């Protein structure tokens, strides 16, 4: 019997679809198990996700990197350290008393929009994505004529921390830029949460979310385009969340750019 009649690895018939997604599909099998390479790749992805959760963001360095966009104010949530932050989500939703007092007494509003940046559950997401995203977003924001609060850099924050910060600043709109919970294919994904009339007690139904902002996901230009549309509509309609739909047209593509749909392409293309 020829050797290749009993291959060690049996390919999956959907294997050609893997070029369209980082999702773990069509991995093949060896006997009744995953091939060794795929098993090791999974373990590496899991280790990267765990590392993203526990990695400490270098706040002084980031504050220096962000200074070219204007003044930066550093605050902290009520979670005193990373371990407490991971075990007590409620503390990550509230400002530490000293930070709350600092914002109320040291930053004078009102403002149209406040951008809050927090490590969240992936400091890697902030380290990798925040500067190029702000490069794409802030010129558009400023050209719109919106008054902008100093950039707020918040340590150990959850999404709802932006509500208290926005209220303390007197901001009509708060944009929370935060490291998302790592996935096995995306340990460095930036999430964007927009809330009109921020104040403690707001829920997820009051916010709009733009997710998976990173070089391998939603591009910085597309994310800025979507955020500008949502922020413009929120300020005009005085609402956000489930009552505000993303009805923006697709970001115009460069003339002659690729327009591909893998659902319509034969496997050999």
Per-residue pLDDT, 186 = 84
From residue 151, how far is each of 68, 160, 225 by CA, in Å?
A: 11, 17, 20
pLDDT band at 257 (very low <50, low <70, confident <90, very high): low
Give pLDDT tens digits for 41-99: 888 888 888 888 888 899 999 999 999 999 999 999 999 999 999 999 999 999 999 99
212: left (phi over 0), alpha (psi -120 to 50) or beta: left
Of 259 and 20, the structure prediction assigns the larger pLDDT to 20
pLDDT > 90: what percent of the chain?
64
Of 24 and 100, the structure prediction assigns the larger pLDDT to 100
Mean pLDDT lowest among 45-54, 182-191, 247-256: 247-256
Look at residue 1 and tell me whether its pLDDT is greater than 50.
no
Q: Please report the sign of the dihedral spanned by the C-alpha atoms of residue 140, residue 143, residue 144, residue 148.
A: positive
Give pLDDT tens digits for 124-150: 999 999 999 999 999 999 999 999 999
Q: What are the extents of the domains in the chain? A: 5-53, 56-243
CATH of 56-243, one of 3.40.50.300, 3.40.50.11240, 3.50.50.60, 3.40.50.1170: 3.40.50.11240
- Residue 114: CA count within 13 A, CB half-sphere: 34
């Amino acid at each position: 019997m020829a050797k290749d009649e009993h291959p060690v690895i049996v390919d999956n018939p959907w294997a050609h679809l893997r070029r369209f997604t980082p999702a773990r599909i069509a991995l093949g099998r060896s006997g009744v198990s995953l091939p060794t390479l795929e098993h090791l790749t999974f373990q590496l992805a899991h280790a990267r996700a765990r590392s993203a959760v526990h990695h400490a963001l270098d706040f002084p360095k980031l504050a220096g990197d962000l200074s070219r966009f204007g003044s930066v104010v550093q605050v902290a949530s009520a979670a005193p350290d990373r371990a407490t932050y991971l075990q007590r989500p409620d503390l990550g939703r509230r400002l530490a008393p000293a930070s709350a007092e600092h914002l109320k007494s040291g930053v004078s509003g009102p403002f149209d929009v406040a951008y809050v940046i927090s490590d969240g559950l992936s400091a890697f997401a902030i380290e990798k994505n925040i500067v190029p995203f702000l490069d794409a977003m802030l010129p558009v924001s400023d050209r719109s004529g919106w008054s902008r609060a100093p950039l707020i850099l918040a340590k150990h924050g959850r999404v709802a921390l932006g509500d208290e910060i926005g209220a303390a600043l007197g901001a009509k709109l708060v944009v929370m830029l935060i490291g998302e919970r790592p996935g096995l294919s995306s340990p460095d994904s930036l999430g964007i949460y927009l809330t009109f009339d921020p104040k403690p007690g707001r829920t997820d139904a009051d916010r709009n979310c733009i997710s998976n902002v990173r070089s391998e996901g939603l591009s910085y230009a597309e994310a800025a385009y979507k955020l500008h549309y949502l922020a413009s509509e929120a300020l005009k309609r005085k609402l956000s969340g489930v009552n505000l739909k993303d009805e923006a047209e697709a970001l115009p593509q460069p003339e002659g750019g690729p327009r591909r749909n893998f659902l319509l392409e034969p496997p050999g293309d």
